[in-house]
């Protein structure tokens, strides 16, 4: 998918530490102005990949091409990027102003221009009044914004974010997500973010690369990844997912113990052992027993989670695990979700997915 707007290309990139292969044969294309996320659990190689792109690690094989120039063997100082780390890495002995101007001074800017640029950046991250403070006098969120301003100061073509929000409180994190995203749109800077937080990836990225054991196992827009997860791992890593053991019965039908369920069975053949996957929010409670795709059982536990209620549902003959059902609070008020009440679950055939075991 070579494209005129390709900004960064990673070709067949691998990196080993001794016998350990941190990343294997990575191929990616990133468009100019795009915001992409490397998403995966810790140890999946996402940070190593980012560091290879930055030149902070040297790849074992493969190449990195930025704006049609092969930069694979360039040291970091010859590459065009700004970077923000989880730990902020602000210089503690320099004021906010000096931290942000740190990279400008070396590029022989005039004093007045530096001042102008730093002021511009400070207002961009809403920190104008903190210019003369030291990093230790700022909150974590403010420090991370300084780090962001410092990385953007020299107007790099590529912005790298290494778990930038992981060290922050939940509230600040949500606030900064939006601020970073808005800033990125405004400046149009091509951005790569590494994160293990699927919610973060989904709310911020144009495109997500899901990684596991050093490989990219799926890429696509947030909604593609969510609705068309290509493996049970991704399905359960991104959002929650119920898995129910099943056997392919005939075309468009699986059998969970004695109950027949309608769904798309794709390439599976009759009598294949599979997992039927269904998201908690796609399940509804039905009182009557007449529709298809019904599973009978008992309510075992109800958790109140504000806007919705999470119900743990026992279907003894179907699965040993409790089935999770998310019911919007408004709906929950109409149907009485009492403990040990016998109910039926229903989901449409479009929402059910089949994975191999």
Partner 1 sequence: MSLFKFADIRRGKDSSDRVGLFMLISYIILFLLFLVLPLGALISKSLQNKDGEFIGLTNYNLYLQEPALFQSLYNSLFVAICSTVIVVVLAFLFSYALTRTCMPFKGFFKLVALIPLLSPSILAAIALVYWFGNQGVLKEVLLGKSIYGPIGIIMASVYWTFPHALIILTTSLSLSDSRLYEAADVLKTSKLRAFFTITIPGARYGIISTAFVIFTQVFTDFGVPKVIGGNYNVLATDIYKEVVGMQNFQMGAVISMVLLVPAMIAFFIDRYSRKKQISLLTARSVVFKPKKHFKVDMIMLGFCSALALIIILMIGMAQFGAIVKYWPYNLNFTLKNYDFQVAGLGWDSFYNSVELSFYTAIFGTIIIFVGSYLIEKLRINEGYRNTVQFFALMPMAVPGLVLGLAYIFFFNAKDNPLNFIYATMIILVVNTIVHFYTVSHLTAITALKQMDKEFESVSLSLKIPIYKMFWRVTLPVCLPPIFDVSIYLFVNAMTTVSGVIFLYSYDTTLASVSAIHLDEQGEVAKAAAMAMLIVYVSVAVRLTHTIITKKVLRKTQAWRYNILDTK
The residues pairing with 296 across neighbouring beta strands, listed in sequence order, are 344
Q: How far is the CB of 224 from partner 1 (least distance, A)?
A: 32
Helices within 107-211 (DSSP H only)? 111-124, 140-152, 170-187, 198-204
- 152 in contact with partner 1 (CB under 8 A): no
Taking the C-alpha atoms of residue 255 and residue 248, their distance in angstroms, rounded to an integer, is: 6
Q: Which is nearer to partner 1, 113 or 264 (CB)?
A: 113
Minimum Å gap between C-beta 335 and partner 1 is 44
Residues shown for the chain: 357
CA dist., res. 154 & res. 71, Å (int): 19
Does 18 bind partner 1 (CB under 8 A)? Our answer is no
Nearer to partner 1, 153 or 234 (CB): 153
Q: Can residue 81 be called a binding residue for partner 1 (CB under 8 A)? A: yes
Of 134, 226, 233, 346, the one binding partner 1 by CB under 8 A? 134
Please tell me whether residue 19 binds partner 1 under the rule CB under 8 A.
no
**Which residue in 21, 32, 74, 206 binds partner 1 (CB under 8 A)?**
74
* DSSP alpha helix (H) spans, 24-110: 46-54, 96-106
Check residue 162 and give left, alpha or beta (phi > 0: left; psi -120 to 50: alpha): beta
Write out the two tokens for 148. 């962001």
The β-bridge partners of 297 are: 343
Comparison of 118 and 324: residue with beta carbon closer to partner 1: 118
> Site residues for partner 1, window 220-239 (CB under 8 A)?
none
CA 239 – CA 317 distance, rounded (Å): 26
Q: What is the DSSP letter of 322?
A: P
Stretch touching partner 1 by CB under 8 A, among 86-94, 170-178, 194-202, 316-324: 86-94
Judged by phi (left if over 0) then psi (alpha if -120 to 50, else beta), residue 248 lies in beta
- Return all residues near 279 (Cβ < 8 A) that are at least 6 apart: 239, 240, 241, 242, 351
Interface stretch with partner 1, choices 25-33, 119-127, 131-139, 287-295 (CB under 8 A): 131-139
Asked if residue 15 binds partner 1 (CB under 8 A), the reply is no
Among 24, 46, 150, 207, binds partner 1 (CB under 8 A): 150
Identify which of 19, 65, 15 has the alpha carbon closest to the alpha carbon of residue 44: 15
Applying CB under 8 A, the span of 54-62, 63-71, 269-277, 330-338 interacting with partner 1 comes to 54-62
Helical (H) or strand (E) element with 331? helix 329-334
Stretch that binds partner 1, among 30-38, 101-109, 120-128, 189-197 (CB under 8 A): 101-109
Q: How far is the CB of 234 from partner 1 (least distance, A)?
A: 30
Binding flag, residue 92, partner 1 (CB under 8 A):
yes
Kindly state whether residue 347 participates in binding partner 1, applying the rule CB under 8 A. Answer: no
- With H, G, I as helix, E, B as strand and everything else as coil, classify residue 245: strand
Q: Which residues bind partner 1 (CB under 8 A)?
A: 54-56, 74-79, 81-83, 85, 87-89, 91-94, 102-103, 106-107, 133-137, 150-151, 153-154, 156, 160
């Amino acid at each position: 998918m070579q494209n005129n707007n390709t900004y960064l290309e990673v070709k067949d990139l691998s990196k080993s530490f001794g016998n350990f292969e941190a990343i294997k044969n990575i191929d990616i294309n990133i468009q100019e102005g795009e915001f992409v996320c490397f998403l995966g659990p810790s140890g999946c190689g996402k940070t190593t990949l980012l560091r290879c792109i930055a030149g902070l690690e040297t790849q074992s094989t493969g190449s990195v091409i930025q704006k049609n120039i092969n930069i694979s063997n360039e040291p970091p100082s010859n590459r065009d990027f700004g970077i923000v780390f989880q730990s902020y890495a602000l210089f503690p002995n320099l004021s906010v102003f000096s931290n942000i101007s740190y990279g400008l001074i070396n590029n022989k800017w005039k004093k007045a221009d530096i001042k102008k640029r730093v002021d511009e950046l400070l207002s961009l991250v809403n920190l104008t009044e903190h210019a003369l403070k030291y990093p230790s006098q700022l909150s974590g969120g403010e420090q991370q914004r300084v780090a962001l301003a410092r990385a953007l100061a020299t107007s790099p073509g590529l912005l790298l974010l290494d778990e930038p929000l992981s060290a922050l409180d939940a509230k600040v994190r949500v606030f900064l997500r939006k601020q970073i995203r808005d800033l990125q749109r405004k400046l149009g800077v091509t951005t790569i973010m590494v994160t293990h937080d699927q919610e973060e990836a989904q709310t911020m990225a144009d495109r997500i690369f899901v990684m596991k054991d050093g490989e990219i196992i799926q890429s696509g827009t947030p909604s593609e990844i969510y609705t068309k997860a290509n493996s049970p791992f991704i399905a359960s890593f991104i959002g929650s997912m119920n898995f129910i053991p099943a056997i392919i019965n005939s075309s468009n039908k699986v059998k969970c113990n004695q109950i027949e369920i309608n769904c798309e069975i794709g390439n599976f053949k009759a009598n294949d052992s599979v997992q039927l996957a269904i998201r908690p929010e796609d399940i509804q409670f039905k009182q009557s027993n007449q529709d298809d795709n019904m599973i009978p059982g008992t309510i075992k536990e109800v958790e109140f989670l504000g806007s919705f209620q999470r119900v743990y549902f026992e279907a003894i003959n179907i699965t040993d695990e409790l089935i999770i059902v998310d019911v919007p609070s408004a709906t929950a008020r109409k149907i009485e979700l009492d403990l040990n009440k016998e109910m039926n679950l229903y989901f449409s055939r479009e929402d059910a997915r089949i994975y191999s075991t």
